[in-house]
Amino acid sequence: MDIVLSLLTFSLWNIWVQYRQIKTVKQLFPDHKMPSIMVITLLSIVTLGLYFIYHEYSLTRFLHIKTEGRRIVWIEVSAGVLTLLGLWFLVDSYQQDSINQILDNRYGQEQLFSQ
């Protein structure tokens, strides 16, 4: 669905996904210094996409530390490589799963569904 919506909206859907993920991570970890979606977009344009590859690697690394308590370097590097190859939707799905794990651990599924 991510691919279809991104194609139909000329990648605007992916910007929305990135915005929601960044907003959620910033709310969960207010001390973490993550740039805004505007900064990420601007730097990605200026660097012809290289900064976005770094951002996907960096976010995956941060989420591993928060979910696993350690880094998983091969997955983090793979996130950058997949993004470079245009398979960012796989990285977004993986990152969203990590964010969901954090939310489940922090708030519990029962509390999320009761509201």
Per residue in 24-36, pLDDT tens?
999 999 998 889 9
**Average pLDDT in the 5-32 region?**
89
Statement: residue 7 has pLDDT above 90: no
Confidence of residue 111 (pLDDT cuts 50, 70, 90): low
- Picking from 4-13, 53-62, 63-72, 92-101, which range would have the lowest pLDDT averaged per residue? 4-13
Determine the Cα–Cα distance for residues 83 and 49; give it in Å rounded to an integer: 9
Structure tokens at 68: 């696993």
Angle CA 29–19–62, to nearest 5: 40
The predicted model scores a pTM of 0.85
C-alpha distance across the termini of the chain, in Å: 26
Domain boundaries of the chain, sorted by first residue: 2-114
Q: Which pLDDT score is estimated for 108? A: 67
Percent of the residues in the chain that have a pLDDT greater than 90, as a whole number: 62
Q: How far is CA 3 from the centre of its chain?
A: 15
